[in-house]
Amino acid sequence: MTNQINEVTEIKSPEQYLPQEQLQEVSIDLLNAVQAAKTIRVSSEVSMAEANAIAGKIRARQKGIEAFRLAIVAPFKQHIAKIDKFFKDLQGKFEEPLSQIEGKVLKYREGRKQPLETSSYQEGVGRTTFVKDVEITIDNQDLIPESFWVLDEAMIKRAAKTLHLPGMKVGGVDTTAIPGVSIKCVERPLYVKEK
């Protein structure tokens, strides 16, 4: 098999996928959003409602852009995924014979009395080097030192929400519920899609 690669003869710039009329409309919306973000003051229920309305329009514009992007890139991604799968499957078919051969070589090398050679060379393949390596099996998780454990912040946040949201006031902090974790109650906007 040769290493021949198909070359793409023409690539569109991202701007060419969006019609000029829509690009101008998006640009105007962006300018308005930037201006609103600079000038709006949230100091009352009325101004908060106004700010939320502007934020809703911005989110709607973002979703529209994302939907348009997905409509363009989804077919490419699906095609690339099919190409990847085809070649990975083809490559994978060589794993079993390779594993068998490497297993036989390893068995022979382990049974030899003389020292290991550091490498061998084969035309068209290159140099094969043998190095010492490790394989691990977890026998007992409880005995593994803490330094090997990974902190799961998403799990901690879920636990904190169930423990504290109902009774906590905005701005309140609790440092006792989960040892080593400060839980602060904050408010974030929640945007609900209109029906």
Measured CA to CA, the distance from residue 40 to residue 53 in angstroms comes to 12
How many CA within 13 A on the CB side of residue 28?
6
Q: What's the average model confidence in pLDDT over 35-40?
A: 94
φ and ψ at 129, to 5 degrees?
-115, 140
User: Which of 24, 33, 26 shows the shortest CA–CA distance to 53?
Assistant: 33
Please report the pLDDT score of residue 56 as a whole number.
93
Q: Give the pLDDT of residue 107.
A: 81
Q: For residues 137-157, give the mean pLDDT.
A: 80
State the average pLDDT over residues 184-193: 70
Residues sharing a CB contact under 8 Å with residue 118, sequence separation 6 or more, in sequence order? 129, 130
Mean pLDDT of 165-185: 77
Count of Cβ atoms closer than 10 Å to residue 160 Cβ: 19
pLDDT in tens, 74-105: 998 999 999 999 999 999 999 999 889 888 88
Q: Is the pLDDT of residue 190 over 70?
A: no
